[in-house]
Amino acid sequence: MRKKASLKTAAVMMMSAAMLLSACSNNSGSNNTAGESPSATSGASPSGSAAATESSKPQELVTLRVLVMEPGTKWNKYPDSKVAQDIAEKVGVKIEYVEADENKFNVLLASGDLPDIVRTDVNKYQKQLIEGNLIVPMDDMLADRGKDITANIATVVDYSKKNWSNGTGSLYFLPPQVQPKPGTAVKPITIGPTIRWDWYKEIGAPELNTMDDLLNAVEQIVEKHPTTDDGKKVYGVSMWQDWGLWPYLIPPLTFTGLTGATSDLTASQIGGAEFISTLTDENSNFWTAMDFYNKAQRRGLLDPDSLTMKNNDYMAKATAGQIVVGPATWAMGDFNAQHTNDGKGFLVVPAGKVAWTGGVNPLGWQDKAYAISKSSKNPEKAMEFLNYIFSYDGARTMYNGVEGKDWTLVDGKPTLTEETLALKATGGVPLESSGLGLDLNIIGLGGDLINPEDGQPVNLFNTEEALAKAATPLEKDFAEHYGATYSGQVFEKLIDEGKLITFTTWMDGMSDDEILKRNTVPGVTLNDDWKKKEAALKELATRQAAKIVLSKDDAAFAKNKQEALDAFKKAGAEEFTKYYNDEVTRLRTEHGL
């Protein structure tokens, strides 16, 4: 993040950064499994529903199932939250998540019988979904049931018709978190080395300039705390294996500054347009991760279940306090929620050279785009729900709660109540169960977007005053350690001093028009042949990774590394990178860059 004067002129961060945040900010952590019951109607809606005001006969709630590629979400855990009730009253629907990893998602696509709404990577799946006649165009429903969509995200609608329609010119996809302008305050960081703050402070909170520094700090902590309070073994590092190459690509990002765009097999420096091979370039996140996890394994710091464990199992260990450091706040299970009053908990700490302060996305989070399934028996209701999440009223409720209860107008200015600020500061289950900000992926408008009716951010928690008042005890302790008022200020100071960069630093000095142009270049969409090659390479990488991580010494690591590099080259990793870069060049040229 840059100084506030330039913050106001910043705009879009590159699409890859948007994908990163959206993939990582779903506040996952529960161990519940989403239900997969068929769409059905259930009990009567509250008396405040739109339908009930038009008729004395209560409206039946329509259950809309939403397919999400995120095992371990929390949405279904709180079916009666304030947010869920507001959706029921204003739209007449109950939202139910159907969770899937990539394999289950592909099985559902092959079956052709999908839930009512699909949330997926538009660049990866638009061809399959549209050509397979699995989703419906929204154009006809937009006029009658999508007025807020048309009014608030017209740029996204036009772009979607042109670039996400598989050449049909119709509207199929609407990504959430549309954010064309940045805010002026640095919010609590959610992505990066996320460590047990009380333990990290205990060893002096040493600087973490490299991943070796991180590993050394973790080792000190494990030596002091080999078991949890109830006797469970503590591991320094762990990971899960049902998110593809994610555990090898995202955790090193803070230290390398390398991030992908529309394929896990390529990456560029933040803001760059030249992509390296994730698998054959030894400076990539993949190889940085291989070095890190192998060293952790040889020091006895790596959870032995890391190479077989699924996300829900990982979350259970994190909740039990068995993991010292993870890749994001939401990746540490319910530990913080269970320790809101005792000063224990996980926070992202300054590390490496990048601070994930969030960003702005005029096109939203493209890997979480919403589409309406052809299998849906209630497509009109699905459209009304999408219109709700892209409305200022819906977005503000999903972030802040109900007007008149959780926030009120004070001299015409929307203001959070002291009770709501206290709820945010308390955190944990009380906050989660309210539904406020429970899943950012389901909110259509970014929190820093200004509501033109009142001139305030859609998310009222994003003001500096609210950030200070709503800081949790854990965040306050962290901030005070670094001489700040709230946690975001810790990073803001380091950014202003030039010690850390952000995902928007590369746009400093650009005009708003130039920033917009550089961040609306269509992403590379793989054809079927390249998709197959990509899948084969990713599968090969997963197999090789396990062998490399388990290398017993330097000699074995070097041998396994060379064998993997040879295998990746033989399988076509470098040809894939060349093709990808050629496509990037073509798309940028067609876009006028």
Distance CA 238, CA 304 (A): 8
* pLDDT of 16 above 50: no
For residue 117, list its beta bridge partners.
66, 372
Percent of the chain with pLDDT over 90: 73
* Pure H helices in 442-505: 464-469, 473-481, 487-496
Tens digit of each residue's pLDDT (9 = 90 or more) over 331-348 = 999 999 888 878 799 999
Question: Torsions phi, psi of 252, nearest 5?
Answer: -75, -10
Local structure of 7: helix, strand or coil: helix
Which pLDDT does position 19 carry in this prediction? 43
Determine whether 502 is exposed, middle or buried from the number of CB atoms within 10 Å of its CB (0-12, 13-18, 19+).
buried
Residue 406 near residue 82, CB atoms below 8 Å: yes
Query: Does residue 276 carry a pLDDT above 90?
Result: yes
Reduce the DSSP state of residue 458 to 3 states and report it. coil
- Mean pLDDT computed over 164-181: 93
Least confident among 144-153, 173-182, 394-403:
173-182
Over the stretch 259-272, which tens digit does the pLDDT of each residue have? 998 999 999 999 89
pLDDT tens digits for range 214-262: 999 999 999 999 999 999 999 999 999 999 999 999 999 999 999 998 9
pLDDT by residue (tens digit) across 345-376? 999 999 999 998 876 788 999 999 999 999 99
Q: Looking at residues 148-154, what average pLDDT do you find?
A: 96
pTM of the entire predicted model: 0.74
Q: What is the C-alpha to C-alpha distance for residues 344 and 335, in angstroms, rounded to an integer?
A: 9
Per-residue buried b or exposed e for 151-167, using 16+ beta carbons within 10 Å of the residue's own CB: ebbeebbebbbebbbee
Q: Is the pLDDT of residue 31 over 50?
A: no
pLDDT of residue 292: 98
pLDDT of 9 above 90 = no
* b/e map 323-360, b = 16+ CB within 10 Å: bbbbbbbbbbbbbbbbbbeeebbbbbbbbbebbbbbbb
For the cut 70, the answer to whether the pLDDT of residue 55 exceeds it is no
Question: For residues 365 and 22, what is the distance between their CA atoms, to the nearest angstrom?
Answer: 6
CA pair distance 143, 547, nearest whole angstrom? 55
7-11, 60-64, 77-81: least confident range: 7-11
What pLDDT shows up at residue 182?
67
Nearest by Cα to 257 from 495, 503, 492, 523: 503
Domains of the chain: 62-181+364-467 (3.40.190.10), 191-354+521-527+569-588 (3.40.190.10)
Instruction: Give the lowest-confidence range in 36-45, 65-74, 466-475.
Output: 36-45
Under 8 Å between Cβ of 228 and 320:
yes
The CA distances from residue 240 to 28, 98, 214, 311, in Å, are: 13, 20, 19, 5
Q: Give me the pLDDT at residue 28, please.
A: 37
User: Which residues contact residue 186 at a Cβ distance below 8 angstroms, ignoring those fewer than 6 apart?
Assistant: 1, 357, 488, 489, 491, 492, 495
Which residues are CB-contacts of 373 (< 8 A; sequence separation ≥ 6)? 67, 114, 115, 116, 117, 118, 134, 135, 136, 379, 382
For residue 180, name the pLDDT band (cuts at 50, 70, 90): confident
- Averaged pLDDT of the chain: 88
Sign, CA dihedral 500-503-504-508, equals positive
Q: Please give the structure tokens belonging to residue 183.
A: 């805010």
Per-residue pLDDT at 194 exceeds 80: yes
Cα-to-chain-centroid distance, residue 359 = 12
- Give tens-digit pLDDT for 411-457: 889 999 999 999 998 888 899 999 999 999 999 999 989 999 999 99
Residue 53 has pLDDT above 70, yes or no: no
For 574-588, b/e burial (b = at least 16 CB within 10 A) is: eebbebbbebbeebe
191-196, strands of its sheet edge to edge:
325-328, 191-196, 346-348
Q: Which helix (H) or strand (E) holds 89?
A: helix 82-91
Phi then psi for residue 410, to 5 deg, are: -120, 110
SS3 112: coil
Q: Which residues pair with 66 in a beta bridge?
A: 97, 117
